[in-house]
Structure 1
Amino acid sequence: MILDKIIGLFSHDIAIDLGTANTIVLLKGQGIIINEPSIVAVKTDKYDRDGTILAVGHEAKEMIGKTPGGIQAIRPMKDGVIADFDVTEKMIRYFIEKAHKRKTLIRPRVMVCVPYGLTGVERKAVKESAMSAGAREVFLIEEPMAAAIGAGLPIREPQGSLIVDIGGGTTEIGVISLGGLVISKSIRVAGDKLDIAIVDYIRKKYNLLIGERTGEEIKIQIGSASPLEVPLLMQVKGRDQVSGLLNTVELTSEDIRDAIKDQLREISNALKSVLESVPPDLAGDIVENGVVLTGGGALIRGLDKYLSDIVKLPVYIGNEPLLAVAKGTGKAMEELDLLHHINSLD
């Protein structure tokens, strides 16, 4: 125990929000030091069977859809889980080494935030990736719990708090009381599926072919879940699939609302199913405290109103929703001894 405390004084503990879209790394005592896309560019030619890493993060994202033969930009996380173990391990190693910078000879303890409902095999894969990347000890915390901590909800109090975290690969919904997840649900409908829906809609309605990166930009620029008083407009360039020539069309926020309506309905249905399972004693707390939104999806215009109209409860957007999960993971890392009893930590 004494040795652990001495090592802790010299160790630079690291918290990682390993997201489908972005990876955020926090260093104990310093806060967020890395916030980059979860993308890796690797060599894929026949002379490099090991897949040499060419770029990670922002630099790799710039390569998506623009790589020549022999280079591939990979998103190793898909729908909130590891789709490519080897590339994920290399990505985690890159971020840990970048964060740690060999400050001490002592390897860091690492906490990784993972989606709720990850299988035992998937949890083991995440742990092994971090251990292989140089961690001394690895802890996992589930996303709804990390989001609640980051949003400042009273997780240790004997009252119900409801969090909805809409990330890149998954939407995580959790009811938390007395430091544990009472009910939780994870669906693989989130930011990425919204981007794909926008791409498909524009292809079908306007015969215009665009990439997922453009779909994401459209979502950010003019995306809306509820009608706006003044619709937003955006010029979008792509290739006409009929003539094969380059073309430009003008989209409105109403177009995007129509494009993503099915995905938003799935998210609202998941929220309703969680509310239907809430124990009566906690239901009163949720009626009083409302629902808190975090994650990049929380920034979609009018999403709070859209969900509030469906579930008939107040819906609030948490402070810094994009960073809530990462900050919650970092706070859990700092209060590790106090959080060992939480069911979501292992």
Structure 2
Amino acid sequence: MFGFLAADIGIDLGTASVLVYVKGKGVVLQEPSVVAIEKDTQKILAVGEEARRMIGRTPGNITAVRPLKDGVIADYDVTEMMLKYFIGKICGKRLLLRPRIMVCIPTGVTTVEKRAVLEATQSAGARKVYLIEEPVAAAIGAGLDISKPYGNMVVDIGGGTTDVAVLSLGNIVYSQSIRVAGDKFDEALVRYIRKEYNIMIGERTAEELKINVGTAFPKERSESMEIRGRNLVTGLPKNIIITSEETYKAMEEPIQAVIDCIFHVLENTPPELSADISERGIVMTGGGSLLNGLDKLISERTQIPVHVAEDAISCVAVGTGKALEHLDKLEPSLITYKK
């Protein structure tokens, strides 16, 4: 636990995980966005990694829920409780001055969805709340200088959303957000295995399969992994072996949706900025960008160099925190909430 009077905190409030950046300390917390709740009393039993381990393994009176869906709040009360828990874990219980908090949101979210994030964060203990769009935070976290009049393209693939944006002079020139990302890759694997093998697997198994042998570029990877699921005919557990080539077939549709989104943004980018992007390349951030071969596939399809950011998972959280240090430049484009 970290104790201080108050601090500037950046929060990457993701569908799959929450990362918290504290000024001067870096990323101090990275936990799954999962909360375990007792159904009858609505009492929180576990948050984060401890709650994630309960997914698919809870008795009837306990439910493990993900309060965020597709990058936005699906359960307001649980999100507020989760944020309160994480802020308390970071700041300690006795704060003389409540922290200023910046939270990132996907591009294109509605006013109602923005308001829900602002109010949940304020209720969780913030003095002042700022919202920043994910591609801006990702670009800052990846070390791009977006203040100059040059085109920078960022592809941020998280758990619930993929945000593609072209940035110049500190702001977004053109962007698109689609609700296809890491979770949809997992769902595609679950569907494929059910269809091809008549076996049901859980989301944790699908995620492990994606990380260990999943690929978007079959030429680059040829591995296999043994997984266990439930046979839908007999109802008994069964082991099967899945290869990298099969994971590509399974995830082809959501991968293509991400590539289509990139093409759409490129087609709507002013010519001068397009020239900058073809020279400087595309920067990928987020956990989904680490899918084996995805950078090579995008580069092959677009004929533009693609670079995966050095610390792709933490980029948005780091950028969100660093943005608080440059409020004078960014504040006009931020959404704020002060009670």
What TM-score range do you get, normalising by the shorter chain? over 0.9
1:143 has 2:138 as partner: no
Q: Residue 219 of structure 2: SS of its match in structure 1?
A: coil
Aligned to 1:40: 35
8 Å CA contact 2:215, 2:221 repeated in 1: no
Counterpart pick for 1:177 among 145, 168, 179: 168
Question: How many Å separate the matches in 2 of 1:246 and 1:144?
Answer: 43
Deviation at 1:242, TM superposition (A): 1.4
1:215 has 2:206 as partner: yes
In the alignment, structure 1 segments of 5+ residues that lack a partner are: 1-8
Letter of the 2:157 partner, please give it.
Answer: I
**RMSD across aligned C-alpha pairs, in angstroms?**
1.3
1:167 has 2:155 as partner: no
Aligned to 1:249: 240
* 1:90-239 alignment runs, 5 A limit: 90-102=81-93, 104-229=95-220, 231-239=222-230
Shifted more, 10-19 versus 71-80: the winner is 10-19
8 Å CA contact 1:10, 1:104 repeated in 2: yes
Aligned positions, number: 333
Counterpart pick for 2:327 among 330, 333, 336: 336
8 Å CA contact 1:339, 1:345 repeated in 2: no
Aligned to 1:277: 268
Question: How many Å separate the matches in 2 of 1:71 and 1:104?
Answer: 32
Identity of aligned residues (%): 53
Aligned to 1:21: 16
1:124-153 CA distance string (max 9 Å, x none): 111100111111100000001000101111
Aligned to 1:303: 294
8 Å CA contact 2:6, 2:91 repeated in 1: no
Aligned to 1:30: 25
Q: Residue 314 of structure 2: SS of its match in structure 1?
A: helix
In the alignment, structure 2 segments of 5+ residues that lack a partner are: none
1:209-256 CA distance string (max 9 Å, x none): 100111011000001000235511100111111122211111100010
Aligned to 2:249: 258
- TM-score where L is the length of structure 1: 0.94
Deviation at 1:11, TM superposition (A): 2.4
Deviation at 1:103, TM superposition (A): 5.5
Counterpart pick for 1:61 among 52, 60, 71: 52
Shifted more, 288-297 versus 98-107: the winner is 98-107
Question: How many Å separate the matches in 2 of 1:307 and 1:36?
Answer: 29
Letter of the 1:311 partner, please give it.
Answer: T
- TM-score where L is the length of structure 2: 0.96
Aligned to 1:6: none
Question: How many Å separate the matches in 1 of 2:21 and 2:144?
Answer: 20
Large movers: runs of 4+ above 3 Å: none
Q: Residue 165 of structure 1: SS of its match in structure 2?
A: strand
Question: How many Å separate the matches in 2 of 1:318 and 1:240?
Answer: 40
8 Å CA contact 2:27, 2:314 repeated in 1: no
Aligned to 2:71: 80
8 Å CA contact 1:145, 1:344 repeated in 2: no
8 Å CA contact 1:22, 1:35 repeated in 2: yes
8 Å CA contact 2:8, 2:321 repeated in 1: no
Deviation at 1:338, TM superposition (A): 3.1
1:148-199 CA distance string (max 9 Å, x none): 1011112001100000000000000010000000001100000000000000
Counterpart pick for 2:285 among 294, 304, 321: 294
Question: How many Å separate the matches in 2 of 1:127 and 1:345?
Answer: 9
Deviation at 1:310, TM superposition (A): 1.2
Letter of the 1:245 partner, please give it.
Answer: L
8 Å CA contact 2:220, 2:293 repeated in 1: no
Question: How many Å separate the matches in 2 of 1:187 and 1:233?
Answer: 30
1:73-116 CA distance string (max 9 Å, x none): 00000000100001001011111111111453111111111111
Q: Residue 99 of structure 1: SS of its match in structure 2?
A: helix
